[in-house]
Amino acid sequence: MPQPPSTGRIVMYRLSEEDTRAITHQRAQSGVSGNFVEAGQQYPAVVVRVWPGSPDDACNLRVLLDGQDPPLWATSRHSGDKPGTWSWPERV
C-alpha cells in the first residue's frame, strides 16, 4: 500500500486543462511571464492540507511553476496518473 500524503511533503502534480487556462489568464492579468504550460506537464507541489479518510488521498497543494508565477493553488486533488492528480516523485 502506498504511503499516505502528509502536510509539508513534496509530490508531483500533473497540470489539467483548467489549470493551464488559469495560469495563462493570471499571467495576462498580472504581466508575469513563465515557461509554456500544457495539460499533463508535471511540477513539484507542497502538500498543505490532507483530507483524512478521503478516497484517493485528496489534499490541497501549492504547485511550483517554472517561471515568475506565484504557486498555483490546487485544491482537493487526488492521487493518480492523469492530469489534475498528484503522485509521489520517482526514486532515483
Can you give the pLDDT at residue 91?
Answer: 87
Identify the CA nearest to 87 among candidates 66, 65, 56, 64.
Answer: 56
Instruction: Decide if pLDDT at 1 tops 60.
Output: no
Tens of pLDDT along 22-65? 999 999 999 988 899 999 999 999 999 998 887 778 999 999 99
Cα separation of 67 and 44, whole Å? 13
Cα separation of 72 and 34, whole Å? 12
- The one-character DSSP state at 34 is B
pTM, two decimals, is 0.92
Q: Which residues contact 23 (CB under 8 A, 6 or more apart)?
A: 15, 34, 37, 65, 69, 72
